[in-house]
Structures are given as C-alpha cells and as structure tokens.
Amino acid sequence: MGRTFFVGGNWKCNGTTEEVKKIVTTLNEAEVPTEDVVEVVVSPPFVFLPLVKSLLKPNFSVAAQNCWVKKGGAFTGEISAEMLVDLGIPWVILGHSERRSLLSESNEFVGDKVAYALSKGLKVIACVGETLEQRESGSTMEVVAAQTKAIAVKISNWDNVVLAYEPVWAIGTGKVATPVQAQEVHVELRKWLKDNVSAEVAASTRIIYGGSVNGANCQELAAKPDVDGFLVGGASLKLEFVDIIKSAIVKKSA
C-alpha cells in the first residue's frame, strides 16, 4: 500500500469570518484529485474551526493548530484534545517551530502532547526541523532525530501520525530547501524510523515538507520519492493552494 499524498494548510493566526468563508468557497469549488490520490487537511485558528468544518466539503478534513498536553482544567487560554474530539475535529498540528521557538515548547513537551492527543483519538501532524545555525553547523540530522525520538519514546502506534519536516530557516522567509535538500532529510528521517522504530513504520509513515512551499516549487518537490506531501503556510490562504494540492498528480504518475 503506497503512502497517500498529504497536503496540509496551516492558516496560522490569520483571517476574519468573511475571509475564511472566501477561502472555504475557493476550496469547495476547486477541482482537485480524488481522496485516494491526495488527503487534504486545513488548519484554521481555533475560533473558526466549527465554521470551517460546517462549510468545507466532506473530502477535506480540518485540523487544530495546537492542543494542551493533558486533560483540560485550570489552564487559561488552552484547548484540550477532548474539546477537539467533542467538536469532531480529527487532526491537530503539534510541535510547530513557531511554538517551539516563541513559546519554548521542548522536545519532551511536544512528545507528551503527541502521545496525549493520539490517546484521545486525534490524528497528529508532528513537526520537526532545524534552525539556520543548526544547518550551517552540520547538525540538521542530530536535531531532527532528537525531536523525532522525543515523540517515538512516548508512542507505540504511528498509524495516525504524519511527520512534517519544516526547516525553520525556510518558514515564511521565502527561502526553500532545494528538492535535493528536502529529499536528503526525508531519507534520513525514514532511515531513523527504520533503525529506531520499525521497517514497517518507516515504510508507511508519511513525511511531508513545509517551508515556503508555493505553486511554483511544489511539483519539483513532490517528485522526490520520500516527500509525501506538504504542510503549507502562507500559500494555503491563496488560490495557489489548489495548485499545491494538484501537485499530488506528480506523485501518482511517478
């Protein structure tokens, strides 16, 4: 069974009600490949989750951008996994570099979050990636392996995990890892999973790329054998997100 191409759209902290409705209308009207070719998940801010879920056509799914590390309670401003399940939200993004850097989320904390979300029945887009300093010092694989290990030691089932490699230096900067650079890290991540989890998990887990993906570069990236899709930031708010979804055809014909 091949790995179904996966395209996630992370809307981050953007949008008004009217803007969100326009984005959803664009997606609903778009002609995109069928679900057996590409799985599409969009991630609006928390306040728009119910709206987007109610308006979006059923072959697209919805993700939250974060959730708390344990059951809800006296955690002001947080959203629990249980609340997402109650709302019928199937996916959550965890460990995004913006949360790791701006909110000091550690590898261990992200690992705990992933494990708790999975235990409540959520599917997880788990993010890993290195900074520019780490890449230039040659420690890319050391960094992403440590981030992945912090998740691996907390979970036993990878069926509902998509691993997103997002080089921090390429997020929102306009810089993009070349297809060769992306493929290189994805291969190493898959090898790490094979050596430290299992060959089956390595073969079946989707490893997607995020970092200034757009309509112009998506096809070349999608053609790489170990790039199983994308986690798209700014471009997911634009019409070109449809082109990125369509890049799955490249994989299907490869």
What residues have CB less than 8 Å from 128, skipping those under 6 apart? 95, 143, 144, 147, 148, 163, 164, 165, 166, 189
Q: What residues form DSSP beta bridges with 126?
A: 94, 163
Active-site residue, selected from the candidate residues 96, 98, 105, 186: 96
How far apart (Å, rounded) are the C-alpha atoms in residues 107 and 123?
19
Count H helices and E strands in the chain, helices first.
Answer: 12, 8
How far apart (Å, rounded) are the C-alpha atoms in residues 14 and 21?
13
How far apart (Å, rounded) are the C-alpha atoms in residues 42 and 171?
17
Tokens of 27: 């997606």
What residues have CB less than 8 Å from 154, skipping those under 6 apart? 111, 112, 114, 115
CB 235 within 8 A of CB 214: yes
Single-letter code of the amino acid located at 157: N
Tokens of 217: 């570069």
The yes-or-no answer on residue 186 being catalytic is: no
Active-site residue, selected from the candidate residues 39, 98, 105, 166: 166
The yes-or-no answer on residue 130 being catalytic is: no
CB 161 within 8 A of CB 118: yes
CB 165 within 8 A of CB 182: yes
Tokens of 203: 């073969």
Residues annotated as catalytic are 96, 166
